[in-house]
Amino acid sequence: MVEEGAIHEYVVGSGVVETLRTDPDYTEPCEAMLGTDRFELSVCDGEVPYYLGLLDETIRIGVEDEEGMPRALVETDAGGVGEWANETYDEYRDRSMPFSMEAAP
C-alpha cells in the first residue's frame, strides 16, 4: 500500500486499537500507511463481526474462529451482495471515529 500508491479506507472495531498503538508488528506499518495521506482508518465502537472487503465490483466476506484465526472467505461479484456490502460498510463508517496513534485523554 505504501510503496505502490494504493488508496485504502478501513473501519476496525475498538478491540484492535490498543494493538495498533502498542504492538510493533502493527504500529510501524500503521504509521507508515497513515503517513501517506492515502489511508483512512476509522474505529467503530464495539466489534466488527466479520471481514468485509470492497474492491471495485468484487466483494469479500471473511470470518474467523474464537482464537482470531481466519476460517472462511467468500469472494463474489453478485450485484445484490455488492449493494448489501456497500450499505453495511457505510453504516459502520458512519458510526466510526477517525483513528489516532495517540490515546484519547
Q: Whats the size of the chain, residue-wise?
A: 105
**pLDDT of the residue at 79:** 83
Q: Across residues 69-84, what is the average pLDDT?
A: 92
Cα–Cα distance, 74 to 63 (Å, whole number):
9
**pLDDT of the residue at 104:** 65
Cα–Cα distance, 92 to 37 (Å, whole number):
21
Q: Is the pLDDT of residue 67 over 70?
A: yes
Cα–Cα distance, 40 to 11 (Å, whole number):
8
Q: Across residues 84-98, what is the average pLDDT?
A: 95
Is residue 87 classed exposed, middle or buried when 0-12, 13-18 and 19+ CB atoms within 10 A define those classes? exposed
**pLDDT of the residue at 68:** 81
Residue 99 vs residue 67, higher pLDDT:
99
Q: Is the pLDDT of residue 40 over 90?
A: yes
Mean pLDDT score of the chain, rounded to an integer?
Answer: 91
Q: Across residues 25-50, what is the average pLDDT?
A: 93
pTM: 0.83
